[in-house]
Amino acid sequence: MIRGSCLCGAIRFEIDKVLALTHCHCVHCRKLSGAAFATYAHVAQDKFRFLSGEDMMAEFESSPGSRRKRCRVCGCPAPGKAPYLTTVSIPAGLLDDDPGVRPVLHVFASSKASWWTIADDLPRHEKWVPGYEPKT
């Protein structure tokens, strides 16, 4: 069991298994995380459960058609599910336990911060991973 929570503890969840960790360099993820990139844990819906705080999340539109959630108390980004994916995406910084996997790729490498150098050999995608882009 992998546990996770927001900074203040209002939102708590547990995961049976993380499928993958990915680094996103898009401008939205950089600004929302306040860092060079955001890392997400991707989990099958049936392997993810909220323990508390589902009612403590505020939802907003971060870009046209893209909705994000945050804790109403501490402002941490919260787990969410894009309507075009079958997985829940969880900001990896919320994980309290080792997810048992390591990052597998970079997305939106074409949007990376100018002051950051990607220094690993993980696969890089200029935009979306083919087949995982939003369905319009």
Tell me the CATH number at 17: 2.170.150.70
Q: How far does the chain reach from its first CA to its final CA, in angstroms?
A: 35
Answer positive or negative: Cα dihedral of 131, 16, 41, 136. positive
pLDDT at 136: 62
**66: in domain:** yes
Cα(19)–Cα(132) distance, integer angstroms = 15
**90: in domain:** yes
Domain total for the chain? 1
pLDDT at 129: 86
What b/e sequence results for 24-42 when a residue is b if at least 16 CB atoms lie within 10 Å of its CB, and e otherwise?
bbbeebbebeeeebbbbbb
Angle at 57 between CA 9 and CA 15, to 5 degrees: 60
Tens-place pLDDT, residues 29-78: 999 999 999 999 999 999 999 999 999 999 988 777 678 899 999 999 99
pLDDT at 134: 76
Domain extent for 6:
2-111
**79: in domain:** yes
Tens-place pLDDT, residues 92-135: 999 999 999 999 999 999 999 999 999 999 999 999 888 777 77
DSSP class of residue 127? S
Cα(78)–Cα(73) distance, integer angstroms = 12
Residue 7 has pLDDT above 70, yes or no: yes
